[in-house]
Amino acid sequence: MKADCSLPAAGARTASGPLGAGGPARLVWPAEAIWEAVSPLLPGFTVEVLPETASTNSELMRRARDGRMEPVLLVAEQQSAGRGRLGRGWDSKRGDSLTFSLGLPLAPRDWSGLSLAVGVSLAECLDPRIRLKWPNDLWLDDRKLAGILIETAMSGAGGQGRYAVVGVGINLAEPAAAGLATPPAWLGELRPDCQPGAVLLRVAAPLVQAIQAFEKDGFGAFKARFDARDALRDRAVTLSDGTAGSGRGTTDQGALRVQTPGGIKVVSTSEVSVRPND
């Protein structure tokens, strides 16, 4: 069952000012509304907004190593050292992007496909035109709109499962494209009046619900929804290891299936990157 991604009444849209060059003069975050929506799902949940940090993922992983593993949504108005998959940087300017990390204890039977489930939740909440590029990107017209970075830390002595840090970066306004392997897209193309606080309020509770559904039922609960938005399906692709073929969807565990001259190749590691040839 899909989560409800609808926004509350207009009065709850607390971000201020239109986005433009340099972003809004002031950002207002609906922390209380987010807390009210999420806390029934995650007892002990808190929302924290920082004017700037190096990386929200790095900060929550640092806290986890210090034994602080409570459920928290950490938002940064700006990141100075944002990180993506495979060590890539993520440019984050105040008001022009939404960067946050959700940290929570998690104990799924199988972790495979978690980034795909997160992508499904975000895409369904943001716009029907957004597609999903395995294993952790949201695309608009073959341009990268958003990225997902998931890291984990072991729980303390006697604990079960691990502490998951789910990092998300969404372009809201047009970012600089220089040096990017994939041209960027931004949410303002689809929603010209999008604001960081309103977007966060829209995606936060459904994201928690999706992660909890994944913990219970695994990627199987999301496979059909991912397949409906699969940006690589039936397209010529090349893997970073040199393999060429055509995308053939995913397995029930979220691994990428590529049709090659030698048969179906199953790619389960996110250390391999994949690009469409066209």
- The predicted-structure confidence for 34-43, as pLDDT tens digits, reads as follows 999 999 999 9
Same domain, 272 and 156: no
Given this model, what pLDDT does residue 176 score?
A: 81
Q: Is residue 269 part of a domain?
A: yes
Same domain, 88 and 173: yes
Same domain, 210 and 266: no
As annotated, the active-site residues are 85, 144, 275
Q: Is residue 32 part of a domain?
A: yes
Q: Is residue 5 part of a domain?
A: no
CA 13 to chain CA centroid, Å, is 21
Given this model, what pLDDT does residue 193 score?
A: 83
* Mean of pLDDT over the chain: 87
Same domain, 246 and 149: no
Same domain, 208 and 137: yes
Model confidence, pTM:
0.88
Same domain, 96 and 120: yes
Same domain, 251 and 122: no
Residues 81 and 89: beta-carbon distance below 8 Å: yes
Q: Is residue 146 part of a domain?
A: yes
Query: At 193, is the secondary structure helix, strand, or coil?
Result: coil
Same domain, 114 and 76: yes
Single residue among 193, 209, 227 that ends a domain in this structure = 227
Residue 162 has pLDDT above 60, yes or no: yes
Helices 196-217 and 31-38: crossing angle, nearest 10°?
20
Same domain, 223 and 245: no
Q: Is residue 85 part of a domain?
A: yes
The residue-averaged pLDDT of 38-54 equals 96
Confidence of residue 165 (pLDDT cuts 50, 70, 90): very high
Given this model, what pLDDT does residue 210 score?
A: 98
Per the structure, how many domains does the chain have?
2
Confidence of residue 17 (pLDDT cuts 50, 70, 90): very low
Residues 6+ apart with CB under 8 A from 127: 187, 190, 191
CATH code of the domain covering residue 66: 3.30.930.10
Q: Is residue 131 part of a domain?
A: yes
Confidence of residue 88 (pLDDT cuts 50, 70, 90): low
Percentage, residues of the chain above pLDDT 70 = 83
Same domain, 77 and 186: yes
Q: Is residue 1 part of a domain?
A: no
The residue-averaged pLDDT of 209-234 equals 97
CATH code of the domain covering residue 261: 2.30.30.100
**Structure-derived torsion over alpha carbons of residues 117, 220, 256, 235, reported in degrees to the nearest 10:** -80
Q: Is residue 184 part of a domain?
A: yes
Confidence of residue 82 (pLDDT cuts 50, 70, 90): low
Residue 178 has pLDDT above 70, yes or no: no
Confidence of residue 13 (pLDDT cuts 50, 70, 90): very low
Residue 1 has pLDDT above 90, yes or no: no
pLDDT in tens, 24-33: 457 889 999 9
Instruction: Give the domain extent around 244.
Output: 236-276
Q: Is 229 left (phi over 0), alpha (psi -120 to 50) or beta?
A: alpha
Same domain, 128 and 262: no
